[in-house]
Amino acid sequence: MSGSPAQAAPASSFLGKAGPLVLARLFTAGLTVSIPLVLARVLSLEEYGTYYQLFLIATTLYYVLPFGVVQSLYYFLPRAEEKRPWLGQTLLFMTGAGLVGAALVWGLLGPVAGLFDNPALLEYRGALAAYTGLWLGSFPLEISLTSQGRTKQSALVYLVSDALRSATMVVPCLLGAGLHGMMRAVVGFAALRYVATWVVVPRGTSGPLVRPGWWREQLVYAAPFGAAMLLAIPQQNAHFYVVAGSVAPALYALYRVGCFQLPVVDLLYTPTSEVLMVRLGELEKQGRLEEGVEAFREAAGKLAFAFLPLAAFLFAAAPEFIGALFGTKFLPAVPIFRVSVLGVVLAILPMDGVLRARGHTRAIFFSYLLKAVVTVPLLWWGVRQFGMQGGIASWALAEVVGKGALLARVPAALSTPARALRIRDLIPWRELGKASLAAGAAAGAVFLLRASTVHAWAGLPEGFFWRVLPLGIAGVLFLGGYMGVLYVTGVRPLSVLASLRARRAG
């Protein structure tokens, strides 16, 4: 029976389950990306910097306070017969976390406003506290569905939620209500989402809402990952805080534009990693964990064909990209942006998902601890010596160190008594090599295009169409070159795209 097609299919096509999530994120990605792009045009540089500082505080708490409890659903639900207690205690925990987050915003926004030298932050204290608390309370909504294999329902929730969130952040500013109007709107959205979370998450599950004896098991599993988040999120955001405390809000706005990335993680990495975690749980339950390394290589190979060309294009066409999306006043952010593109490359290997699925959360904690230790001296020296460039360079070096620490632990997580894996066994070398060759060649063509047309671009008229035209030409050239080189090396790009479409397992 283990060799039957019905059972073999999930191992080779499990990524198809991520299809609905990817398609939902693809549709909403444009809406999500539109938020900073629209605000960059309707707000002054000072207001734009204030907007980023407000949501820097909220997102820091959003990722720290769950303490890994919500993410633990990926481990417990695929293995559980009775799912409702895991969901119920997670909902209660996140409601408490939301109350803590709201209190922290209310109490600490004054000192943070002083650190950033931006007293305007205090005008939004109540709205930011309410938004943070309600947003935290709704954290389990999509994850609870995905961890049960209900990817279509999860995709629908992502679609509706992201669309509403984008509208509440953009429309008030377009109507002239400014940041005050936007903050009132997002509080209303967060309240609606919180109510929906309590309605949707427990539905269709059996058992009591809480089983007290299970709290300890969930917290013991989540604690290492939660402690890692206590280190990881402040470490990842440390360069934002340090730069915000070192420059005026207008310059901070330039820095945040330089750190802007297309939502590739939400679009491809996150759903792929989530489905990989569920798949590894299923394989372990079926006694077929030896197939886990093939699942990991499949996921990494597909991500390589998407992320490497994206990173190469953004690096090569950075001036055209920043100018078209944000306007020429943000062109000083180009050098920072080119360094931040490294984050796209580092997302190729879904290592944290593997370690969480296999219960190796202490390895995640260690990697974040190492990054935190590295980040502090790098930021202190880098920002002091090189300003904003030192901030982004410090972040990039710390990310490389952290990813290396994770990679060193993945072989043990996927090894079995019959097969001890090494790092080289995990890497999809053929896919990585072909994607790198094609992306490098296409990026070189973009650099040659700019060198030969620099005077022509400088003479273009004003207006959105003329700003986008150079980016569009560079994009067509890059895409044609990338797909052409892939075709020559034997890769059929359409087949790669097809592999990410939804397919029913079995």
Q: What is the mean pLDDT of residues 226-254?
A: 87
Residue 340 reports pLDDT greater than 90: yes
The pLDDT confidence band at residue 506, using thresholds 50, 70 and 90, is very low
Lowest mean pLDDT segment, chosen from 144-148, 387-391, 474-478: 144-148
Is the model more confident about 254 or about 210? 254
* Structure-token pair, residue 288: 């077929």
The span from the CA of 402 to the CA of 304, in Å, is: 19
**Half-sphere exposure of residue 15, counting CA atoms within 13 Å on the CB side?**
25
Contact 18, 503 (CB under 8 A): no
Query: What burial class does residue 463 get, using C-beta atoms within 10 Å of its C-beta: 0-12 exposed, 13-18 middle, 19+ buried?
Result: exposed
Which has the closest alpha carbon to 48: 255, 237, 241, 226?
255
Tens digits of residue pLDDT in 43-58 = 888 889 999 999 999 9
Which has the closest alpha carbon to 332: 314, 321, 319, 350?
319
Phi-psi sector, 144: left (phi>0), alpha (psi -120 to 50), beta: alpha
Q: What is the mean pLDDT of residues 358-371?
A: 84
pLDDT recorded at residue 21: 67
Which has the closest alpha carbon to 417: 291, 290, 293, 285?
290
β-bridge partners, 419: 416
Residue 156 reports pLDDT greater than 80: yes
Tens digits of residue pLDDT in 386-407 = 989 999 999 999 999 999 999 9
**Half-sphere exposure of residue 304, counting CA atoms within 13 Å on the CB side?**
21
**3-state SS assignment for residue 302:** helix
Computed over every residue of the chain, the mean pLDDT equals 85
Residue 236 reports pLDDT greater than 50: yes
Q: How many helices (H) and strands (E) does the chain have?
A: 24, 0
**DSSP character for 416?**
B
β-bridge partners, 416: 419
Residue 189 reports pLDDT greater than 60: yes
Contact 213, 78 (CB under 8 A): no
Model pTM score:
0.75
Residue 10 reports pLDDT greater than 70: no
The span from the CA of 415 to the CA of 358, in Å, is: 11
CA distances to 145, 311, 341 from 307, rounded to whole Å, are: 26, 6, 10
Phi-psi sector, 207: left (phi>0), alpha (psi -120 to 50), beta: left
Which of 362-398 are b and which e, b meaning 16 or more Cβ less than 10 Å from the residue's Cβ? ebbbbbbbbbbebbeebbeebbeeeebbbbbbbbbbb
Which has the closest alpha carbon to 492: 484, 481, 480, 502?
484
Tens digits of residue pLDDT in 89-108 = 999 999 999 999 999 999 99
Lowest mean pLDDT segment, chosen from 301-305, 411-415, 498-502: 498-502
Residue 249 reports pLDDT greater than 90: no
Which has the closest alpha carbon to 73: 91, 100, 61, 58?
91
The span from the CA of 415 to the CA of 403, in Å, is: 19
pLDDT recorded at residue 2: 33
Is the model more confident about 50 or about 152? 50
Contact 88, 210 (CB under 8 A): yes
* Structure-token pair, residue 420: 């001890």
Amino acid residing at 206: S
* Structure-token pair, residue 390: 């030192």
* Structure-token pair, residue 129: 């506290």
Residue 195, number of CB atoms within 10 A of its CB? 12
Residue 177 reports pLDDT greater than 50: yes
Lowest mean pLDDT segment, chosen from 166-170, 231-235, 415-419: 231-235
